[in-house]
Structure 1
Amino acid sequence: MANGSIYQLIEDCEATNKALYKFYAAVMIVIFILALPLNVSVLHLFIFKMKFWKSNTNNIFLFNLVLADILLLFCLPIKAHNFIKGERRSGNDAVCKAMLFMLFLNRGASIAFLTVTSIDRYFNVVHPGRKNLLKALKKSPHISIFIWLLLLPLTIPTMLKNFDCCNSHKSDENKEDTLIKDVVDSLREVVFFTQIIIPFIILVYCTVHIVNRLRKKTVGDKTKLRRAVFLVTSVMVVFSLCFLPCTISRVVLLVARVQEWQESYQDKAAVAFDGLMVLSYMDCLLDPLVYCFCSTKFKALYISNYFPCFNKDGPISLDSSSGNTSHPKRSNVI
């Protein structure tokens, strides 16, 4: 294929390696099939069994995290359909913008609530007696509503075709138009990187301090301490696995565009970015596994409701006001 043809395919948002994009589509379909029932079942548990709005724990944040992941999952079949057709985005302008809005809003919300939950855990472990605004507001839905509203204006700059097709900072003969477009492109890239880099720095800070605090703690159940260390470490691993690779590939892609690398290299950078963006959707599958199932109480409640045949202690009830689980059979024995 000639270089000019490759360049034209990049500009037209068409896949240059259709077989590879079909593989990307297959990965998204697998993520959708595995993650949707898992997230829906967790959401059902939060609403109908745990009554998260009455809980004194951080279940409000976790509920919003799962909700953001579910909304993001609904975008994957459409994205997979486009990839199967050899298109990197929908040819319909309205569908394209709606997809970008949904993808970036819910992806941003997922990262935001993951970060806020880690900050809440940081204060509970490192500064348990200190009063803080987050501790006061976490029982109220207002902070969750505020996070969703804050993400709306940050999502609008991404609702453009050339972002989805990785065509930021492309050369243009009209210098005036190029200057305006460069400002818009730069703003859009700042939003993209800010949604990942700032939460990552916060997560690193919280994780390091939580691990140090738990290691210095000599009093208490060592099993619980090890579980807490495993939890915060797992969050860092999940975040690093899902979001850092696509961030790095985006940097490489921008360098390729600005320095006007050969079209074949630009194409490889764009294909790699698309693939690593698909990897970032794994977050929808890993979030409930890390945050919900690392809790022995939540795991026991989940198994009791959905897999009672594996539950040796009988049905488990949960006091919505305290967030505590109870085992009726054990109570009768006592």
Structure 2
Amino acid sequence: MAQAQYHAIEDCEAFNKALYKFYAAVMIIIFILALPLNASVLHLFVTKLKFWKSNSNNIFLFNLVLADILLLFCLPVKAHNFIQGERRSANDFVCKAMLFMLFLNRGASIAFLTVTSIDRYFNVVHPGKKNLLKAMKKSPQISILIWLCLLPLTIPTMLKTFECCNSLNGQINNGTSEDALIKEVVDIVREVVFFTQILIPFIILVYCTVHIVNRLRRKTVGDKTKLRRAVFLVTSVMVVFSLCFLPCTLARMMLLIARVQEWKEITEDRAAQVFDGLMVLSYMDCLLDPLIYCFCSTKFKALYLNTYFPFFLKEDIALPETSGSHGQVSKPKDDNNVL
């Protein structure tokens, strides 16, 4: 029984099919809720805000929403696999394409989240200093560079066994010692990519958030409501990042330990189920990102309500200027720069 269960893990078969059907239902709910929300926000960035002409960091936010939408399109495929009792597609091409999309777009979502936080850090903590990011954020070059830098990081993750966490498993080395060495190096590289993609941005976010909160708390003049909104915003970023990405990182660490230490197969299977469940939780980021980054701006919220739900719009809320030629009127430094 134990040996059969072990092969089920190797073949990426979902041992507890009822649990994976529940995971699939959660992903479908996330997809249904997040897709229209992200699509409507993307529509506003293109048609109303004209992000490419903006003097704010709307270019970063546009790319963040775009990455979340592309990631959302992977969820129906993942949900179908889970319903079929598979942890990933049995088709090799579909499996690798899914891994490419998942890691590229999730990495892009984390990257633009981090870059936007760094930009806000300089605006709040060092408002008078010039920096390269501040100069480049008005053009799409830095966004294109981020996407291009993420492409090489997806190469070691596009391996068939990665998603089922067969890394660092000596029991499947059937080739020569040279083949085993190559496999071990590839395993280490792809795990380093997985962990650094989350842990390094988390450290940067912690640093930026702590300094922003301290700076805002020391500020004694200005709009108190705006200051409280800014503190709430950066704190929410940390909460969402911790909720969506840190649990799956810790679960993967435990799963790797289970494989390296050769724990009992039943224990490893349970660790795999926990890891898959927390990976599903990480997709909640696609639903929470637009709520935090876009709707914490009173002007963006008013524009969104005026466009899609005008009967909810209060008369005393001013709409934002959508033309790049009215920068003096909208003064977007605090409101349009929603992070």
Partner residue in 2 for 1:12: 11
Deviation at 1:170, TM superposition (A): 1.2
Partner residue in 1 for 2:209: 207
Deviation at 1:166, TM superposition (A): 1.0
TM-score by length of 1: 0.95
Partner residue in 1 for 2:321: 318
The 5 A counterparts of 1:260-271 are 260-271=262-273
Amino acid across the alignment from 2:105: N
Partner residue in 2 for 1:43: 42
Deviation at 1:177, TM superposition (A): 2.4
Superposed CA RMSD: 1.4
Whether 1:129 aligns to 2:160 is no
Q: 8 Å contact 1:301–1:325 — kept in the other structure? A: no
Deviation at 1:239, TM superposition (A): 0.3
Mean alpha-carbon deviation: is it higher for 278-287 or for 178-187? 178-187
TM-score by length of 2: 0.94
**Residues 233-292 of structure 1: CA distance to partner in whole angstroms, max 9, x if unpaired?**
000000000000000001101111111111011111111111100000000000000000
Amino acid across the alignment from 1:311: L
Deviation at 1:315, TM superposition (A): 8.8
Partner residue in 2 for 1:90: 89
Partner residue in 2 for 1:329: none
Corresponding residue SS for 1:20: helix
Deviation at 1:323, TM superposition (A): 8.6
Partner residue in 1 for 2:300: 298
Task: Provide the C-alpha distance between the structure 2 equivalents of 1:56 and 1:162, rounded to a whole number of angstroms.
Answer: 44
Identity %: 79
Unpaired segments ≥5 residues, structure 1: 327-334
Unpaired segments ≥5 residues, structure 2: 332-339
Partner residue in 1 for 2:261: 259
Partner residue in 2 for 1:229: 231
Task: Provide the C-alpha distance between the structure 2 equivalents of 1:194 and 1:225, rounded to a whole number of angstroms.
Answer: 32
**Residues 73-118 of structure 1: CA distance to partner in whole angstroms, max 9, x if unpaired?**
0000000000000000011110000000000000000000000000
Amino acid across the alignment from 2:280: V
Task: Provide the C-alpha distance between the structure 1 equivalents of 2:28 and 2:160, rounded to a whole number of angstroms.
Answer: 23
Whether 1:241 aligns to 2:243 is yes
Amino acid across the alignment from 2:94: V
Deviation at 1:49, TM superposition (A): 0.5
Between Structure 1 and Structure 2, how many residues are aligned? Answer: 325
**Residues 40-89 of structure 1: CA distance to partner in whole angstroms, max 9, x if unpaired?**
00000000001011110000000000000000000000000000000000
Task: Provide the C-alpha distance between the structure 2 equivalents of 1:104 and 1:141, rounded to a whole number of angstroms.
Answer: 22
Task: Provide the C-alpha distance between the structure 1 equivalents of 2:240 and 2:29, rounded to a whole number of angstroms.
Answer: 18
Task: Provide the C-alpha distance between the structure 2 equivalents of 1:53 and 1:98, rounded to a whole number of angstroms.
Answer: 30
Q: 8 Å contact 1:55–1:323 — kept in the other structure? A: no
Which of 195, 198, 202 does residue 196 from structure 1 map onto?
Answer: 198
Structure-2 change in CA distance of 1:144 and 1:317 (3 Å): same
Task: Provide the C-alpha distance between the structure 2 equivalents of 1:255 and 1:271, rounded to a whole number of angstroms.
Answer: 15
